Amino acid sequence: MCVAVFASVTPAVSFAASTSVVGREVDALLARLETSQCQFQRNGRWHDAIRARSHLERKLRYLEERTILTSSEQFIELAASRSSMSGEAYRVRCAGRAEQTSAAWFLEQLKSIRDSHPIRPD
């Protein structure tokens, strides 16, 4: 009973406690977004990277309640590329770089993560 109560009041902030490759890659993607100093557009309004991460974490929790993500690309496609309300693509703009879709930005970051620090299964 204590375990059930604990589990029900402990929110899944992301995949932080996960040992899966997907979970660790998604955590790394969200960390990169938060520290990027880029701006994130959703539904026509620009937000700072910290607020964007918070929004994507809420979407991630929603997804985790309904499905098991089998790849980081699936996270990008289902949570980080467009508004589930309007269908409008999210956009990212970073100083000194051309504005791009968030899907393109996250896929670029994922490639960099995999190239520089391959995450291996436990």
Note the pTM of the prediction, 2 decimals.
0.81
H helices present in the chain, as ranges? 2-9, 21-35, 49-66, 72-75, 102-116
Integer-rounded Cα radius of gyration of the chain: 15
Paired with 48 in beta bridges are 39
- What pLDDT digit, counting tens, does each position of 29-82 carry? 999 999 999 999 999 999 999 999 999 999 999 999 999 999 999 999 999 999
Band (122; pLDDT cuts 50, 70, 90): low
Spatial separation of the C-alpha atoms in residues 4 and 94, rounded to whole Å: 43
In this predicted structure, the answer to whether residue 12 has a pLDDT above a threshold of 90 is no
What are the structural domain ranges in the chain?
A: 20-114
In this predicted structure, the answer to whether residue 8 has a pLDDT above a threshold of 60 is no
* Distance (Å) of CA 112 to CA 29, 55, 76, 106, 119: 10, 23, 15, 10, 12
In this predicted structure, the answer to whether residue 14 has a pLDDT above a threshold of 50 is no
